[in-house]
Structure 1
Amino acid sequence: MFKLLIAEDVRTVREALVHSVPWEKIGISLLGTAANGEEALALLDREVPDLLLTDIGMPRMNGLELIEAVKLRNPDISCIILSGLNEFEHARQAIKLQVLDYILKPIDPDDIERVMSKAVAEMRKQRAERHEVAVAEQTIKAALPNLSQTLSPENWSGGLKKKKLVEQAIQYIKESYCRKNLTLSDVAEVVGLSDKYLNLLVKEATGTTTNHLIIRFRMEEAARLLKDPANKIYEICDKIGYADQDHFRETFKKLYGLTPTEYRNRSL
C-alpha cells in the first residue's frame, strides 16, 4: 500500500476526497488530510507519504509552494495537483516541479480514481526499478567489497571507485566502438556491472547514456574520416561499425545537421 497525504483548504472537498474514492481498492492508504501547506508539512514531519494530492489555491502556503518544499525534503514523494485554476502558468510551474498529474475541479470521483490508479502503477514501476538497482548494488558489493562504501546510496553523487568504473567503461567504448553490434550489455560485462547500473553511473557522470556515447564516438570518427576525400563514404560506414548506410546517414545528420556528403563538401 502507498501512503497518501491530502492537502485541501475547502472542508467539503476534503471530506469528499476522503469518502468518495475507494483508496484501499487502488492500493492506497490515507495518511491524513491538511487544510493548508503548513499543516501538510507538519504532518510530513511525523510520517512521510509516498504520494501527495494537493490543491493549488490554499491560504498560508499554496500547493505549488508546498510541492517545492516537499521535493526539497524528499524528492521521491510523487505529487498530483488538484485545482480549479485551469491556467497555463500553474501548469507550467507544475511541470517544472515534476508533478505526476493534474486534476481539475469540480472533483469527479471516477476521474480521481483513474488518475490515482495510474499514479500507483507508476510508483510500483519506480519501486521495482529501485529494487533492481539495490540488488545490483548488493551484487557489486559482494564481488568487490572495497566498493561497498563508494557505491552506497548516500554517496551516489561521488566516489573514486565509481569514477574509475565509468572511465573504464568509456575507455572500452573508445577502443571498441568500431565493432559491429557493440551493445550496452557488452560494455557492462567488461566492467562487471548490470546494464541498468552502468547506465545510471554513466549518465550521472556524462549526462548521456552508454548507447549515446557509442553513437557519439562513431559519429566523431566519421566526421574525422570524412575530411579526407580519399575515404569513401561506404568505407567509413563500415569502419565505424555500421552495416546500413541509410542508418549511418540518418544518425550522422541528427548529430551534425548535415548528411555525410554535405559535411564532406563543407569541409573541403
Structure 2
Amino acid sequence: MIVDDEEVIRLGLEKIISRMDLDVQVIGSYGNGMDALNRLSKTDPGEVDCLITDIKMPMMDGLRLIEHVRDKMDRIAIIVLSGFSEFEYARQALRFGVMDYLLKPIDKMQLYELLKNLKNKNAGGNDTRAAEAVEGTGDLSDHEAGEHYVVDQIKGFLDKEYDKNFELERLVETTGMSPSYISRLFKNKTGHTITDYLIEVRIEKAKQFLIDHPDLKNYQISQLVGYSDPVYFNKLFKRMVQMTPKDYKKRNAK
C-alpha cells in the first residue's frame, strides 16, 4: 500500500513497482493516513505485507498512521518516504520500528532491494517481526538507524547542492546537530570527510559537463561545479583524475 499526498509520487511508485520482476501488487494508493487506515482496518491478516508512507500529509500524517499500524498490525513492514527537510519526523518514525526509509526522489534500486528482501523473507515463512524484514535492519538500534539516516541525508544534500558554496552551518540547521558531531559521524560511516565527498561529487559532475557539453570553457565548468577559481579547479581535477580537464575532454570526445 502506498500513502502520499502527492499524486505524482504515488503514480510514479506504482509504475516503478509494476515494472519489477517481483510479482508485487499495489492493493491501494491513498493521499492521507486516514483513508489508508480505513482501508487497512478492512483487510484480512496477511493481505498487506508492506506499507510505503510519506510523513507530512493532511487529515492524518504518516507518524500517526505508523503508530496505529504498529499498535494493531505489527506484522506489516513499513517504509518511510522522506525529504531532506523532514529529518526530525523520520527520526521519530524510526522509533516505531520502521523497516527502512527512501529519500525523495526515489532510488529505484533501493526500493527494489527492499521489496525483494521482504518477499524472500516472507516466502521463507519467517515469523520474525516485520520490522526485521531486511537482513540486519531489525538489529539496528534507533540511534544507529538515525545515524545511517543522517549520513544518507548529508549525501543527498551534497549531491543536490554541489554547485553552491558549502557551509556546514546549513547542515547543522537542518539536522539540529553540532558541526563536530556531523563531521565525525560522516567520516566514521563513510571513510571520507564531508569535504572529500563534495570534491568527488564536483569532479564527477565536471567530467559529465566535459563530455556532454564540450563547447563549455574551462572557467564555465569550474563555476558550474562550485569553484570560482578556474586555476584551482584545474589543479584539483588533475590531482583527482590524473589528467587536465582539457586532456580528459579529448580522450572522451564523442
What is the TM-score with the length of structure 2 in the denominator? 0.45
Computing the radius of gyration from Cα coordinates, the structure with the larger value is 1
What is the TM-score with the length of structure 1 in the denominator? 0.43
